[in-house]
Structure 1
C-alpha cells in the first residue's frame, strides 16, 4: 500500500515538472516558440495568413475585507502581468515570420508590464482612506484601454512585426519607461508622499 502511494506521488511529481502554464513578467524572460502551447499553434508553409494571440493578461486580485482594504495604500503585489502559455497561439508559414511574431509578443508583454506599473501608480496616488473596493475600476479600465490602443498601433505600424527596426525602437522606448516606474514593480514599495 505504501509503495503504491509513493509511486503515485512520484508520477504526480514528474507530471508537474516543467509545467508552467502562467509566467509572471520578468525583465529577463524571453518568449520562445515553445511558450505558444495552444493546440492551434503551428509553423507550416500551408499557413496562408499569420495569426498571433499573445496570451498576455493584467490580473488584479484583491482578497481582503473592507477594513483592511480601507487601510491599504500599496496594491503593487495585487497586480500582475502574466503570459498564459496555454492561451498563446502562433500561426506562421515559416520560422522567419514566427520569430517576427514572437518579437511582437515580447513587445506586448513588456508593454503590458508598463501599463501594469501605470495602474499601480494610479492606484497608489488616488487611493483615499475611505475608498471602497470599486474605486480602482475607472483607473484600471482607463489604463487597459490605453494599453490596447498602444498595442494595436504598434501591431499596425510594424505590419505585424515586419518592420523590425520600428518594433525595436518602440520596444526600447517601452523598456525605458518601465525603468522610470521602478517604484511600481510587483515587489516594490512606492515612496511616501512628502507632507508639506
Structure 2
C-alpha cells in the first residue's frame, strides 16, 4: 500500500506535454473485429495520493465508464469480436489549490485493466494491464496547478479521458489477436508487457532526482 501511495505522489508532480481534453474526435484505429461488451469499473481499494483533493468514488467510476463508452463504444467500433473490460481504479491525485506553486502538482490516476474474450469465455491477458495517466494541460494549468482552474469533476473527466485513450492504444497494440484464426506466432506476441515500464522508469528517475 505504501508503494502505491508513493507512486501516486510521484505521478502528481511529473510533467507531461499532452493535448488538452476534448471530445472524442480522434481517428478510429484498426482494432481488428473489436466491439465493446460489458464495461465494468470498480474501485474497492482506491487510494488518495498526498496533497490531493477528495474525489467521490462513485463519480470517478461513472467518469471512467463514460470515457470508455465514448471512446470504445459501438459508435466508433462495431466489429463482431465481443470484448468485455474490467477496470480497477487503484489510486488518484487531484491537484488542489493552496499548495506551494513551486510544486506545481498535477492530477494523476493509476488503473489496471483486464480484457475478456466473450467468444473464448476467458481473459485475453492473465496479468492485468497497468496504466499510469497524467492530466492533459490547459493553458492555465501550464503555469499553475489545475486545482486553480478546474473543479474536481473536470479533473476526473480529464484523467479518465486520457485513461480511455490508453486502453484504446492497448487494444490497437494487440489488434492481431482480435480477429478470427489468430496464428500461433501472433498469439505469442499479444498481451505482453502489461507493466507500464516507461512510466515506472520515469517515476524512478523522479525519485532519484529528489534524492
Higher helix share: 1
TM-score after normalising by structure 1:
0.39
Structure with higher Rg: it is 1
**What's the TM-score once normalised by structure 2's chain length?**
0.37
